[in-house]
Structure 1
Amino acid sequence: MVTIIFSHPWHGSFNKAILDTITAKFDKENTPYEVIDLYKDEFNPVFTEEELSGYSQGKINDSLILKYQQIIKISDEIIFIFPNWWNTMPAILKGFFDKVLQKGFAFDYEGGFNPLLKIDKSFVITTSDKPSPNFSHTIEKCFIGDMLNSVGIRNGVWLSCVTTSTGTNENRQQFLKKVEEAV
């Protein structure tokens, strides 16, 4: 199963067009998938004191986090879709990593840091208004290299649409075609 983690608040956005392109392809091919829409689910990315106090023991009291973990547990592939805001991911997605990919679920410290997930395919699909060398480092080294690989989400491929809101409709349509062919 493919899990799509969507991190954009506006359903009129180009990010939503990317999501719709992917889900239409999967529907046509009968590919099983699940969409985690962080904004629509009203996911709270901020740790409370109570949540943080149980973090090191892997204790979770939030049913939404448990639901997300169950979805990820049966995934063969994960696709992340989000805009580049301040050369990084939106805060809600960072909170997803903090709160969902916890010790005992995504990793453990038995004899060192060990990944517990076994997901062999991933895509990171981003949008921005202008290219930034800093963002390339953030995605390729930090997001894919340090965050995904460290918990067992492997073989990350990054697709980036630049000049999303300032470019041409032709540019956006070409990017949607590229996404459809890649996933």
Structure 2
Amino acid sequence: MSRRRFLLVLAHPLEDSFAAGVAAAIRTTLETLGHEVDLLDLYREDFDPRLSDSERSGYFAGGYDPGSAAPLVERLMAADALVLVFPQWWFNFPAILKGFFDRVFVPGVAFDNDPKGGRIIPRLSNIKLFWAFTTTGSPWWVARLYMGDPVRRLLKRGIAAFCAKEVDFRMVTLHDMDRADAAKRDAHLERVKALLTRL
């Protein structure tokens, strides 16, 4: 097993949330296995998800400046594995996580703009593993069959594939979270830990 440096991103406003518990279990499991974990708790670190005027105006210019998000860009670039932990709200990311993508997955870091137009050019070559652990209040069939699993599609096709080549992508979801009892939640935590031990 090769030692990896994980950037573990948590996006939930409540410190005692199930998502926070999942993130804690992930961190403990990975560190026990000898990996290095950098926990980025977006709410506790008071991350501002808003793209600034200067950031947006320089988006297609050379030498893009990520502004106050630069320290987070550095943390992303120092990692070789990215793990996200978040709830799905309205079949989408929490706003703070969307802002993380907007402000940290930027030109010159996650991708380059093709000067001839067309597809963007992946640049996040340091990230070899991109996993997400999430929950949704809806039953699985609503999220997958009725809605088409939009969060998975956005992450896999719209972010991971556009920003990193040959990345190990996985998304694990606890569905019907609003009615999940302690036994179901505990079983999910055990599943999460079991997946990580097989890395």
Indicate whether the TM-score tops 0.5: yes
Query: 1:90 and 2:94 equivalent?
Result: yes
Structure 1 partner of 2:130: 122
How do residues 129-168 of structure 1 correspond to structure 2 at under 5 angstroms?
129-131=137-139, 132-133=143-144, 137-152=149-164, 154-168=167-181
The amino acid that maps onto 1:180 is K
Structure 2 partner of 1:6: 10
CA RMSD of aligned residues (A): 1.6
- Distance of aligned partners of 1:21 and 1:136 in 2 relative to their CA distance in 1, 3 Å threshold: farther
How do residues 29-178 of structure 1 correspond to structure 2 at under 5 angstroms?
29-57=33-61, 58-62=64-68, 65-110=69-114, 112-118=119-125, 119-131=127-139, 132-133=143-144, 137-152=149-164, 154-178=167-191
Which blocks of at least 5 consecutive residues in structure 1 are unaligned?
Answer: none
Work out the CA distance in 2 between the residues paired with 1:159 and 1:54: 35
The amino acid that maps onto 2:130 is S
Deviates more, 1:156-165 or 1:7-16: 156-165
| SS of equivalent residue, structure 1 residue 124 | strand
Shift of residue 36, structure 1, vs aligned partner = 1.1
- Distance of aligned partners of 1:136 and 1:40 in 2 relative to their CA distance in 1, 3 Å threshold: farther
**Contact 2:66 2:106 survives alignment (8 Å):** no
| SS of equivalent residue, structure 2 residue 158 | helix
Which 4+ residue blocks in structure 1 deviate beyond 4 angstroms? Answer: none
Work out the CA distance in 2 between the residues paired with 1:136 and 1:124: 17
TM-score (norm 2): 0.84
Which blocks of at least 5 consecutive residues in structure 2 are unaligned?
Answer: none
Question: Alignment identity in percent?
Answer: 23
Work out the CA distance in 2 between the residues paired with 1:18 and 1:108: 33
